[in-house]
Each structure stands twice: as C-alpha cells, then as structure tokens.
Amino acid sequence: MTVARQDFEDAIAAYWDAGKLQGEQSAIKAAVGVGTAGSVRSGKHFDVIAALLAKFFLEAGYPAESIRVSKSQGLELPGYYRPQKQWDLVVVHEGVLVAAFELKALGGPSFGNNFNNRVEEALGSAVDLRRAALADLFPKEKPWLGYFFIMQDGQGSRRPVKTAKGALPADKIWTETSYQDRFGIFCERLMAEQLYDAACYVTSSAEDPTPIELVESLDWRHFSAAINARLTYLRDLGIPG
C-alpha cells in the first residue's frame, strides 16, 4: 500500500473546504487524532494535510500513538536557541525522531508581509533544531524534517514584484519575480542548504484546487519519495520494531 497521487490531490482540494471529510481521510484523522480541539496550529484546513502525511507512517507500521498531531499529544521538540519549538506533525517512536513537519500556507491580499514571515519561520525552526541535534539533543538518529507549503494562486501571487532600492543591491535572482517564484527559490535554497530533508511546494486556490507544482524538485513525487526513503532507512535499522 502506498500514498497515491490521488490522495495528495484530494487532500489539497479538501484543504480549501475544511469541513469536507472523505472516507479514508476521515479514518486516518480518527486514528491519529486530528480534528480535535487545537489540533494543527495552522488551523483546521491543515487537518487533512496532516492526515495525508500520517498515512505514510501508519502504513509503514508505526502505531497511532507515535504520530503526534495535536497539542495534547505534545508537538514540542527541543531547540538550541530556545527551550522548545512546536511543530505541526511529529512522529517519535521509541525515542527516535522519525520525522517532523512544518505545514504552512500563504494567502492574499498581503502576500509581501506574510511572505517574509513565512521565510523567517521556516528558517528559524530548521536552524534551531539542526543546532539542537549537534548538541546531542537528538542522540539516536539524525532528525528528519519536512516542509509542506501551499500558496494561494491568484493575480497577487503571480504578478512580478520589484525589489526595493536598498542600501545594497539584492541578489539578481529576485529581479522581477512574483511571490510564487520567490517561494520556489526559497524552498530550493532550503533544500540546497540541507535545512530540510524534503519540501513540497504547490499553488492552488478555492476556485481551482488542482495543485500546481512550479518546481520539479519540490513536487509531490519528490516529496513522497523522500518520506519513503526515510521509512526504508529506519526499517532497515529495525524501526519500528
């Protein structure tokens, strides 16, 4: 059994309709506890994405109690520059951090301010945890981090944006790029610096929820392959037992 592309497309469609639960997604959500009060920090819309990702680990044999999606289960992981940071989905089994995911989105109309906020959040979360790992706060296996991002598709996110005339010029790569372009560049650089082990970046909208994957290396195919590679690696080590 695998998590199919249709599961991914169904989850993106359901993201835009937080009250719409389909059969299998409902069963997964019930198994891992999403949909309870204060489940995913980013809101009920991300419950269905959490369920989609949880399916990988449920099918790989991880017990439901190892898959944490609600505050009551404990989503906090150790930091280095701060005591703890709350992630959106955490899989811990017998003391091993199997995976931790950030689930984030960006919508209009204020793409500019929120773009900077999302960049700073993603960087801060990854840098803090990676440094905590170097301090032996994750002693058993190297942590694995995933980043899942949905940007609202529309004129505001597609339109080229000028860079401000600052004290020093910006990197030319940003010239006349849209917010959709910029987030693709950002996610590619997150991966190049190995801050995250996998990133999935899609654009979509309530009017047309079909996911658009602008960057091949950040598409669902690569993201799901990276998750499965992590599962295979740990399975070869006898995890889960």
pLDDT digits over 74-112, tens only?
899 999 999 999 999 999 999 999 999 999 999 988 898
The arithmetic mean of pLDDT across residues 59-81, rounded, is: 93
- List Cβ neighbours of 58 (8 Å cut-off, separation of 6 or more): 28, 31, 32, 64, 67
Q: Identify the pLDDT of residue 178.
A: 97
Q: Identify the pLDDT of residue 42.
A: 46
Compute CA distances 40 → 48, 50, 75, 129, 167, whole Å.
10, 8, 9, 19, 40
Task: List beta partners, residue 145.
Answer: 100
Residue 73: count of CB within 10 angstroms of its CB = 17
Q: Identify the pLDDT of residue 18.
A: 64
> Mean pLDDT, the chain, as a whole number?
91
Helices and strands (DSSP H and E) totals, the chain: 7, 7
Instruction: Tell which wins on pLDDT, 38 or 220.
Output: 220
> What's the CA gap between 193 and 211, in Å, rounded?
26
> Is the pLDDT confidence value at 36 over 70?
no
> Is the pLDDT confidence value at 39 over 50?
no
Lowest mean pLDDT among 66-70, 145-149, 151-155: 66-70
> Is the pLDDT confidence value at 30 over 70?
yes
